Structure 1
Amino acid sequence: MGSTFFAIIGKNMNKVIDENLKQPNIKKKKIGSKIIKSKKLFDRWRFFRLLSSIIACVAIFPASSDYEMGFSEERTATNCMIVEDSSVLYRHLAMWLSFSSILLLIPYRYYFLKWKRHMPKTFHELPSYKKLTLMQVFEMRKKPKFSQYIGDDTIPITILLLILPYPGLDLTFTVSQQILYQDVKVCYFVTEPLYALMFLRWIYLIFSLFNFGKYNNQVAQRYREKFGVPMTPAFSLKCYLNQDPLLMLLFFFLIPGILIFGSVMRIFDRPLMKPSMDFDYVGNAWWNSVITMMTVGFGDTYPTTILGRLVSASSAIYGGMVLSFTFVSMGSILQLSKNEKNAFNYILVSSAATGAIVSALSYKKSEQKNIEERYNAWERVKTHLRYFMDYKEIIGADKDEGEEAIDNLKERVLSLEDKVSSLKGTTDAIIHKLNRIYTR
């Protein structure tokens, strides 16, 4: 009887011990589960937004094919003509691609709001840098309203994606202006400015691309949260501009700007069909965009229509901004670093010292020559000595600044050590009090 009783107790004890041993493993599996889910939601909304922007830009190509195939060689500035047998398949394709891009905004917005709502759950595993009140947490955890799914950046993006040359839209309009002191009404199809506005979709693609990268992941999000920086692609763009300024300016600002402004200007000036300003050839339009953005303006090509001039003026303003960014970037690249500056200064001092020694030896050799040659040799000695002393003073000034910076750093380190020692003493006192309480 006794042996059975102790056997039952032993069995139950072993069961309790096994459960306690397994408990840490269960907790270990649960650690980071909320963060992992947050990362999945974060990656999903970024993916759907990027996919939407890519499809939106792909729609430009069938729209371009429709424009090129429909442009008639018999068209004049005052008479809009279109190639009758041109296929409308390209317009349908551009329209359905654009609508597909709009539909992809729905899962993008859904996962974005779901990710924001899930964010407070991660604070248990990874506390937020920002001090949040209970009401703020409740507000973040609140179920999104229907208006939030179509709000924020979704509305302007949808409006942009709805601008396209629709099938069957063959209406025309005229723009009155003077060309060579003659009143001319330049005729356009309504689809042409709509097609020109489609090039703004590249901006949507660029900003969607900057949702990725090391400056816009969950680690970067923690640091942005710490310093109160909003989570926008503009922050990532600024970071890459500071990291690789010339590369970014070349491939994300200059080349796309030339291609887009040249193509749009060609759309509005092409109907004139002047032999001297042949914008029917797209290379001339791109060349005009280059010389306008570079603020050169040779005058061999220039837009004549009002709409073409507006595009050219916009490209000049845009080119001025790009050039200013380029000059600043080149200045930062050509600026010597601290180590390079030290090496540069010491090379100058060494060169000046060598020149002073050589000039002194030359003066020594000129003792046998006439007074004029000895005077010239002595002047060279004084010049090289002056250079040597000037460069030496520059190095001494830089060295003093460096020593002062080191002294300031030492003072900060000592101050930090004092604070750590004080904190350690406070911690030891708290632990001692807790031990006395528990021993009672």
Structure 2
Amino acid sequence: MNDSLENQNTSFLLAEKQQRRLQIKIHSNYFKKWRMFRFLSAFFGCLAIIPAIISYEIGFSPNRTYDQCEINTENQNFLRFSILILSYTGIAMQIPLKHYYYKWIRLYPFTFEELPPSFKPTYLEIIEMTRKRKPLEYILDHNTYLVTILFLIFPYPEMYTKIYFNQQIKYNQYVLCYYLEEIFYFVMFLRVFYLLFSAFSYGQFQNPMAYRICESYRIKISSMYSVKCYSWMYPMEVLLFVFLIPGLIVFGIGTRIFERTIKFNGMNFDSLENSMWCIIVTMMTVGYGDTIPHSNLARGVICLSIFWGGIILSLTFVTLGNMLKLNPKETLAFKAILATKESGHIICEKLTERLLKEDRLKGWRAFEYKLSKFFNPLKKYQLSEETRIYRETATLSNRIEKIDKIADSLRHKLKKLSKEL
């Protein structure tokens, strides 16, 4: 009877363990799927920028002036429809993304059954994870509506809407002419930042193991958490390839779009190099440099680059500070060098005094010592407080190491004795 009950309990535990393993496997599969659809959504959204660039460049007329809007409409429909299809594909990818995400989050609490209670989610968190979502939450949660709005802003087919801005430049009043799709074209480049942060969903800080560890520390994993981790590991690479270069390209293109038709300001913003130089000077000085845009739209882009440049400068200072900071081993070596130097000075001084008393110090060294005592009779080498602390700490560390060695040898001998017994 007892054997049958024990067998039943064993089979029940095995079945429960297999069920838990299956849940973990399904949970990991859902995680990979929603992460993949998030990246695909950002990828297709950014892929639409390529036909948008071609459409803008071939549509810009060489006869275009600040007050006369002209555009070449040949071969525009095919490119505009390509932008539309790719942008709508990026929006459509948000649907399976949210579907698999909520399936993944619903199974999330069941993957912590084998962990201690302190590492498990709270009951309120479990209720929040497993509850059924309302249709509106699919749009509002995780800024899905912002991504959708961003992907809906692009030059539509047969869209050639002129807009005019009154602008005062050097005490003269001007009317600047733009196309609405040019503003939409610049907004499309903001999708690059969404792609960058979506790419951070992959890597060693965004996998099931990382989620498990962060859950035990009650840390919510996000793309920003991965950016922080990689910034700590690779500060220069993140500074260059995540913040500086994308910001330089996006804001440089925006300045060129809104300023290239103004030919009388003494600066050729039709050149992308000049526009990027303006952004570089603005970012590095957080203000205007030798190239100044005149249109209000271009100045708006400059304001965005000022805020972005503030982030880059702060990261630069932090990165340089970390590079110039001594690590623990280097700090120990630094303290050892100073302590050895101070100890050497004290030993030399005591030895020189003794040799002088015994009349064994002669020649130039005796003259030099007497001269130094004449000009500075109160100067005496003494151990500083930091050196004393270091010497005491080093002595204590050496004793601890000796105790560890003795303990290891005793442990080894006890193992041998236990095997013999």
Compute the TM-score of the two structures, normalised by the length of structure 1. Answer: 0.77
Q: What is aligned with 1:272?
A: 262
Structure-1 residue corresponding to 2:133: 144
Tell me the residue number matched to 2:68.
79
Seen in structure 2, the aligned counterparts of structure 1 residues 249 and 368 have a Cα distance that, compared at 3 Å, is closer
Q: Is the 8 A contact 1:75 1:81 kept in 2?
A: yes
| Structure 1 unaligned spans of 5+ | 1-15, 408-440
2:388 corresponds in structure 1 to: 396
Q: Counterpart of 1:85 in structure 2: which amino acid?
A: E
| 2:57 is the alignment partner of 1:68 | yes
1:206 to 175, 196, 203: 196
Displacement after TM superposition at 1:76 (Å): 0.9
* Cα pair 1:366 1:377 within 8 Å, conserved: no
- 1:352 CA drift (Å): 5.7
For the aligned residues, what is the CA RMSD? 3.7
Cα distance, 1:83 vs structure 2? 2.0
For the 8 Å contact 1:49–1:208, the answer to whether it is kept is: yes
Could you say if the C-alpha distance between residues 385 and 182 of structure 1 is closer, same or farther in structure 2, counting changes exceeding 3 Å? Answer: same
Matched residues in 1 for 2:171 and 2:115: separation?
72
Letter in 1 for 2:389: A
> In the alignment, is the contact (CA less than 8 A) between 1:355 and 1:384 conserved in 2?
no
Does the 8 Å CA contact 1:66/1:88 hold for their aligned counterparts?
A: no
For 1:131 and 1:406, locate their aligned partners in 2 and report how far apart those are by CA, in whole Å: 44
Structure 2 unmatched ranges of 5 or more: 356-360, 400-421
Taking the aligned partners of 2:220 and 2:12, their CA distance within structure 1 comes to 40
Pair 137,308 (structure 1): closer, same or farther in 2 beyond 3 Å: closer
Q: TM-score, normalization: structure 2?
A: 0.80
Secondary structure of residue in 2 paired with 1:151: helix
Aligned residues: 386
User: Does the C-alpha gap of structure 1 residues 131 and 201 become closer, same or farther in structure 2, counting only changes over 3 Å?
Assistant: closer
Which residues in structure 2 correspond to 1:290-439 (within 5 Å)?
Answer: 290-295=280-285, 299-351=289-341, 357=348, 364-366=362-364, 376-378=371-373, 386=381, 389=382, 393-399=385-391
8 Å CA contact retained: 1:269, 1:308: yes
Instruction: Name the structure 2 match of 1:110.
Output: 99
The answer to whether the 8 A contact 1:266-1:285 is kept is: yes
In 2, Cα distance between equivalents of 1:402 and 1:293: 48
Identity of aligned residues (%): 35
Deviation at 1:323, TM superposition (A): 0.7
1:62/1:127 CA distance change after superposition, 3 Å: farther
Q: 1:250 matched to which residue of 2?
A: 240
In 1, the alpha carbon distance for the partners of 2:113 and 2:369 equals 86
Alignment of 1:39 with 2:28, yes or no, is yes
In structure 1, distance between residues paired with 2:310 and 2:398:
42
Q: Does the 8 A contact of 1:262 with 1:285 survive in 2?
A: yes
Q: Which has the larger radius of gyration?
A: 1
Render the CA deviation track for 1:388-416: whole Å, top value 9, x for unaligned. x35x5422234557889999xxxxxxxxx
**Cα separation, partners in 2 of 1:18 and 1:266, compared to 1, 3 Å:** same
Give the corresponding residue for 2:404. Answer: none
What secondary structure, in the 3-state scheme, does the structure 2 residue paired with 1:222 have?
Answer: helix
SS at the partner of 1:186?
A: strand
